[in-house]
Amino acid sequence: MASGPAQPAALSAEQAKVVLAEVIQAFAAPENAVRMEEARDNACNDMGKMLQFVLPVATQIQQEVLKAYGFSCDGEGVLKFARLVKSYEAQDPEIASLSGKLKALFLPPMTLPPHGPGLGGSVAAS
């Protein structure tokens, strides 16, 4: 049997909440906040540039926390954690809320361009 870090899939919902909170706190650390701000400035609200500049920094910040919980110290570890969190979201509103907060830290709000019926006019009520 190989020794090493614990299997990440073994995180309970309660442990996942703790780790999510730690990851969110890591984004608030002054040095990480500066890194994220610089990445956002470089991206200029361009989705392609967000993927190029912001996502790698966000991934690195998450990796620093996740490696202490047995996740691999690469993008795959972050993806495994994201999948684990997603599996708990439907069962646990607190995890869903924390997950939403985490995503909001590095994903821009998605705004759809206005289109479709009802633009510029009032909708008739029947």
Report mean pLDDT in 10-residue bins for the chain, 126 residues. Answer: 45 95 97 95 88 93 95 91 95 96 81 54 48
Query: What per-residue confidence (pLDDT) applies to 46?
Result: 87
Give me the residue spans of the domains in the chain. 11-104
Place of tokens 């991206």: 43
| Cβ-based neighbour number of residue 93 at 10 Å | 9
Query: What per-residue confidence (pLDDT) applies to 42?
Result: 93
Query: What per-residue confidence (pLDDT) applies to 113?
Result: 57
Query: What per-residue confidence (pLDDT) applies to 10?
Result: 74
Query: What per-residue confidence (pLDDT) applies to 76?
Result: 92
Distance CA 125, CA 103 (A): 37
What pTM was estimated for this model as a whole? 0.76
